[in-house]
């Protein structure tokens, strides 16, 4: 039933632009979708391995800058008389390269950070994000510094009868974000339901016990970090080629906070948690725009978050599952009893 609901939900999202073709609405949902993809990536670390990364915006920003730089090309002096030159690459090649580059940084940070735990791990991830932001601010020859990068080329597709078409319309961007989001969701779903995913969950539940039975802790945590970073990099690449302008603000701490809110409110350690939390907290500011003052918007945003954590500490998705189970239990018990009665009567 979960996969049936997933198929219905994705189908509904796919036909939504035909039902409600308002460009503004599609733009808002597309922007929320990019953050949902980033939240899905964070959920793999926070929800399934129990590691809180407060520097996850670094991977988002690395993906954005790497994809933009590869698509625009660059020529930079890296010292010692060495010049690093890269010619402009097709957008899809740049996007794929950015995912690989971000995955490498995820592996690098994972190998270093996972040697410690708790607050030390959190400090390392925050520091990494701040270092990447300072690099983007000060390495002006490569990143244009605080001026940002502009005229980033959009995604394009070859369509029979029309040739290569740039994906610049709001509907096209919406479908592109939806496609990448579905792929990210399915990748995480396959991983957490595999042997590797069960090992990650074991580490979350009791790392000492998991180690005692032979589970290589660092390997599985690094694997989760690589995949998580790669998905966050994909979200950053989508952001760069849909907004088509980026600056060092993509590394801001507020982006990580937004991801954490989406994961925790939706239900960490559940596949649907980041999606539900992302839809609520990604669309809420836009739904409240024009209804209340900006200050009141953030007050409502904060109160909603507090109420969810206070009354639904496990998140919205687990609460929904519990409610469905509670409804079905009174129905299931009489059915089981009638089956037992029929079986006993048949034996007699």
Question: Per-residue pLDDT tens for 145-181?
Answer: 998 899 899 999 887 777 788 889 999 999 999 999 9
In whole angstroms, give the CA distance from residue 242 to residue 63: 13
Q: Are 70 and 77 in contact (CB under 8 A)?
A: no
3-class secondary-structure state, position 76: strand
Residue 333 lies in a domain: no
Q: For residues 227 and 54, which has the higher predicted lDDT (pLDDT)? A: 227
Is residue 329 assigned to a domain?
no
pLDDT for 346: 56
Any domain includes 337: no
CATH number of 131's domain: 1.10.3470
> Residue 341: what pLDDT?
59
**pLDDT interval class at 342 (50, 70, 90):** low
For residue 249, give the 3-state DSSP assignment.
Answer: helix
pLDDT band at 186, cuts 50/70/90?
A: very high
Q: Which domain holds residue 214?
A: 2-298
Span between the terminal Cα atoms of the chain, in Å: 36
The model's confidence at residue 101, banded by pLDDT at 50, 70 and 90, is very high
With beta carbons less than 8 A apart as the criterion, state whether 101 and 230 touch: no
Dig out the tokens for 297 from the structure: 């918007």
What's the token pair of residue 87? 């010619």
Q: Does the residue 224 lie in any domain?
A: yes
Label residue 343 by pLDDT band (50, 70, 90).
low
- Residue 44 pLDDT: 93
Domain count, the chain: 1
Any domain includes 345: no
Longest pairwise C-alpha distance within the chain: 93
* Percent residues over pLDDT 70 in the chain: 94
Confidence (pLDDT) at 286:
79
Listed residue (42, 19, 112) closest to 273, CA to CA:
42
- For residue 159, the cross-strand partners are 163
Render pLDDT for 9-25 as a digit per residue (tens, 0 to 9). 999 999 999 998 899 99
The model carries a pTM of 0.90
**C-alpha distances out from residue 51 to 29, 94, 180, 199, 201, Å:** 29, 30, 24, 14, 11
Q: Evaluate whether residue 104 is within a structural domain.
A: yes
How do residues 292-304 score in pLDDT, each as one tens digit?
A: 787 788 888 889 8
Question: What pLDDT score does 292 carry?
Answer: 79
**Ramachandran angles phi, psi of 150, nearest 5°:** -120, 175
d(C-alpha 184, C-alpha 241), whole Å: 18
Find the mean pLDDT for residues 126-136.
92
CB 99 within 8 A of CB 237: yes
Check whether 287 has a pLDDT greater than 70.
Answer: yes
CA distances, 261 to each of 35, 54, 57, 275 (Å): 11, 12, 13, 12
pLDDT attached to residue 176 = 95
Q: By three-state DSSP, how is residue 227 classified?
A: helix
At residue 164, what are phi and psi to the nearest 5 degrees?
A: -80, 125
Report the pLDDT value the prediction gives residue 234, as an integer from 0 to 100: 96
Name beta bridge partners: 165.
157
pLDDT for residue 63 is more than 90: yes
93/110 Cα distance (integer angstroms): 26
Question: Above pLDDT 90, what percent of the chain?
Answer: 47
348 within a domain of the structure (yes/no): no
Question: 77 by DSSP, 3-state: which?
Answer: strand
Residue at 206 is within a domain:
yes
């Amino acid at each position: 039933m979960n996969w049936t609901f997933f198929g219905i939900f994705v189908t509904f999202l796919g036909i939504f632009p035909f039902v409600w073709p308002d460009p503004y609405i599609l733009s808002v949902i597309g922007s929320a979708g990019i953050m949902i993809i980033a939240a899905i990536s964070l959920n793999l670390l926070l929800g399934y391995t129990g590691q809180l990364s407060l520097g996850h915006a670094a991977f988002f920003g690395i993906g954005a800058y790497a994809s933009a730089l590869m698509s625009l090309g660059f020529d930079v002096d890296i010292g010692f008389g060495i010049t690093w030159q890269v010619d402009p690459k097709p957008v899809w090649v740049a996007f794929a390269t950015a995912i690989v580059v971000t995955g490498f940084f995820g592996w690098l940070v994972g190998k270093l950070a996972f040697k410690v735990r708790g607050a030390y791990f959190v400090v390392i991830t925050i520091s990494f994000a701040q270092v990447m932001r300072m690099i983007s601010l000060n390495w002006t020859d490569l990143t244009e510094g605080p001026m940002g990068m502009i005229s980033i080329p959009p995604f394009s597709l070859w369509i029979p009868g029309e040739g290569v078409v740039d994906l610049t319309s709001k509907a096209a961007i919406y479908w592109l974000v939806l496609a990448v989001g579905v792929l990210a969701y399915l990748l995480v779903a396959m991983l957490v339901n595999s042997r590797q995913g069960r090992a990650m969950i074991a580490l979350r539940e009791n790392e000492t016990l998991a180690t005692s039975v032979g589970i290589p802790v660092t390997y599985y945590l690094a694997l989760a970090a690589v995949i998580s970073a790669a998905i966050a990099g994909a979200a950053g690449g989508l952001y760069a080629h849909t907004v088509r302008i980026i600056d060092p603000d993509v590394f801001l701490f507020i982006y990580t906070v937004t991801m954490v809110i989406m994961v925790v409110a939706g239900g960490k350690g559940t596949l649907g948690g980041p999606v539900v939390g992302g839809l609520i907290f990604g669309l809420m500011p836009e739904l409240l725009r024009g209804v209340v003052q900006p200050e009141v918007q953030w007050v409502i945003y904060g109160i909603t978050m507090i109420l969810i954590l206070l009354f639904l500490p496990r998140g919205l998705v687990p609460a929904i599952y519990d409610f469905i189970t509670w409804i079905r239990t009174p129905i299931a018990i009489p059915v089981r009893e009638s089956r037992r009665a029929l079986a006993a009567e048949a034996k007699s």
